Structure 1
Amino acid sequence: MTTISDFTATALDGEERDLSAYAGRVVLVVNTASRCGFTPQFEGLEELYEQFGGDGFVVLGFPTNQFKQELSDAAEIGEFCQRNYGVTFPMFAMIDVNGKGEHALYTWLKSEAGGRLGSAIKWNFTKFLVGRDGHVVKRYGSQTEPADIADDIRAALAA
């Protein structure tokens, strides 16, 4: 059965990363954008990463320009996230989260979430919580603030 560990993605530095590096951890996968009304959620995502990172939790950020709100290249994205929000969690290169060119990880995430909230990613900062077993626990819409996911993260870490 497929898990998050079966995927690879290109990091902002251009290196291909095997997501099996996060096996056994609780993972929050988020599609991000630098010029979105939800962009301030980077601060809350970083707070979650700092709060729970030592317990086996990680946030993985996947920039997308499918909603026309992302900067033009990886260097700009990385610098923006670090400078404005102090992001230290792993960020990946820009991907598509919907359609013919969507990244295989997002095809799997949407399928794993069982269609809750519909299958298409409707906007930036849609979040998927993945348990230690590598399977999706829950999908959250853009409006869900990172702090509102803390209890689910605690439960996933304890499972």
Structure 2
Amino acid sequence: MASFKQKTLRFLYPILRKMAKFGKNGTVLNNEQKATPKEPFYAQQVTLNNGKNLDFSTFSGKKILIVNTASNCGYTGQYAELQSLHEKLGDKLAIVAFPSNDFREQEKADDKEIASFCQLNYGVTFPLAEKGVVLKTTEQQQPVFQWLTNSEANGWCDHAPDWNFGKYVIDKKGMLTHYFGPSVSPLDKDFLEALEK
């Protein structure tokens, strides 16, 4: 069940997104030089919030969207948009959410509570990773985010998430093509166009 704060943030989400679109949370980066990874993306694995391992090689031939998430953030309403995207493009696009408490402690819940919150409030059916660290400041950073935020691994991008709901797009060949900041909706025209490329 959503708390009063979560319900309020959900209501305010469209306003917060528009207000932040032109700041750092509206950052958009793309791999214009078509740099190829120095380390293969498909070697990455993650432990899901149910304890099972997910090997990213199972998504070979699909585009992949990696998103760092939190339940008590002004952008939490994007869970509904991500679910909509999953339902429309699930055969072409794999979405994996990475809950994290890195930004102002907006994800204090444990994995079981996070899964329940996402399912009850947003009907989320795409995979949720085990809660972990997405920022580069500690050795505990999730291995997938070590790859996403290190140009020595992915070929070009050193950019860590600006806030909750930073979005990284991997193409069908395992190349990192884009980073979209939190205020860019997964249903925005520019975002959808990037998925089509």
Assess same fold via TM > 0.5: yes
**TM-score w.r.t. structure 1 length?**
0.90
**Structure 2: which 5+ runs fail to align?**
1-37
Give the aligned partner of residue 182 of structure 2. 142
Whole-Å Cα distance in 2 between the matches of residues 119 and 130 of structure 1? Answer: 15
Residues 71 and 119 of structure 1: CA distance in aligned 2, closer, same or farther (over 3 Å): same
Query: Counterpart in 2 of 1:66?
Result: 102
Displaced runs of 4+ in structure 1, greater than 4 A? none
Identity of aligned residues (%): 33
- State yes or no: 1:50 paired with 2:50: no
Q: Deviations over 1:61-100 (max 9, x none)?
A: 0000111101421110000001101111111111101122
RMSD: 1.4
Distance in structure 1 (CA, Å) of the matches to 2:167 and 2:143:
16
Question: Within the alignment, does 1:127 sit opposite 2:164 as a pair?
Answer: no
Partner in structure 2 of residue 151 of structure 1: 193
Unaligned runs of 5+ in 1: none
**Which of the two has higher C-alpha Rg?**
2
Q: Which residue pairs with 1:4 in the alignment?
A: 41
Correspondence for 1:87 among 124, 142, 152: 124
SS at match of 1:59: strand
Q: Distance in 2 between matches of 1:128 and 1:120?
A: 10
Report the TM-score, using the length of structure 2 for normalisation: 0.73
SS in 2 for 1:138: strand
Aligned residues: 152
Write the distance in 1 (CA, Å) between the matches of 2:40 and 2:166.
19
